[in-house]
Structure 1
C-alpha cells in the first residue's frame, strides 16, 4: 500500500509539472509581439472631438470595440500622406473580414483648405470605410498637441500650392480604446497588418 501511495504521489507530481509546462507554452504562444513601437500606457492621445466628412461629431468612444488607426495629414500632401494611406489600405485588404473591426481616421492639419467634401473624396480614394476628420484652426492645433504631432504651414507664391511640414507617424488604438502603437512612416502594409491582427487577437 505504501508503495502504491508513493507511485500515486509521483504520478500526481509529474502531472502537475506537465500541466505547468503546457501552461507556460500556451502563455509564450499567446504573448503579443508587435513590429512597430509599443507605446502602451502613453500619457497622450487620450481623445479627440472632431467632425467627420459627413458633419457628425466624432470622439474615440464612437469606435469602441474596434481597433482605431489615426493619421494626421492633408489632402495636398505630395508624398508621406498618400504613401501612408495606401499602406494602411493595403493592410486592411490583408486583414480580410477582420477589416470590419478596424476604423481608419485621417485628421487634416490643413482645415482652411481641406473641406469636408475634399476629405471625403480623398479618404474614399483609398478605402470607402475610411473617415476624414477636421476641426477649426484652434481645435486642429489642440488635437495635434494632444497627440504630440508637429505641423507647420509653408506659404507659397500661389496659396493653393502651399505645403505643410508635419509628423508622419500613425497611431493605433486597441478595441478597448487604449493607445497601443506608434507606426513610423517607413513601416509598410505588412507591419500594419501584422500588428492590427495581434491587437484584434489580444483584445
Structure 2
C-alpha cells in the first residue's frame, strides 16, 4: 500500500489482513494465540504509537478475544463497504450483522477516553495522535484499533476499499489506481492463469 494512505487505513487493513489464505486452500489466522498478538502489536509502529508502553506489553487470552472480536466487526463492516461487490470469501458465510458490528466497534472505541496529543520531533513535522486518558488497561488496545477502523471507514480511503477475488485470495485492499483489480501483482497473475485455463477448458 502506498505511504500516501492515511495511518488509520494502514492499521485498519493490517487488522483485517490477519485473516489470510494459508497456501493450502484454507484460511489462516495470524492472531491465533496471545503470543501471536503480542508479536503483531510489537511489529507495528502504528499500534505502538497509540498504546502506552506497547514495546513491553504482552497479550493474554482476554486481549486476544477482544481483538479478534473487534476484527470480526471490522471485517463485517468491510464486507458492507464493498457492496454491491462480493466480500472476501474468507468469512462471507459467517459475517456478523452490520448493526452488531457497529455496536461492537463503537463500544470498543468508547471504553477508553482519549485526548489529542501533539508530538513535534526535532527537525520533523508535527504529528497529532489520540492518547488514552483513562479506562482499563485491557481496553486500551481494542479502543485504539477501533478508532483506526472508524477513522478509515469514515475517511477518504473507504470508497476505494475492495475485496480481492483472485483464486485463493481472501484479502481486502484499497484500490490505488483506476485499472487495479487485485491486491498485488501475484494475485493478478493467478487470476489471468485461471481465466486462461477456464477459456481453454470450455472451448
TM above 0.5, yes or no, is no
Q: Which has the higher contact order (CA 8 A, sep 6+)?
A: 1
Calculate the TM-score normalised by the size of structure 2. Answer: 0.25
Higher strand share: 1
Calculate the TM-score normalised by the size of structure 1. Answer: 0.25
Q: Which has the larger radius of gyration?
A: 1
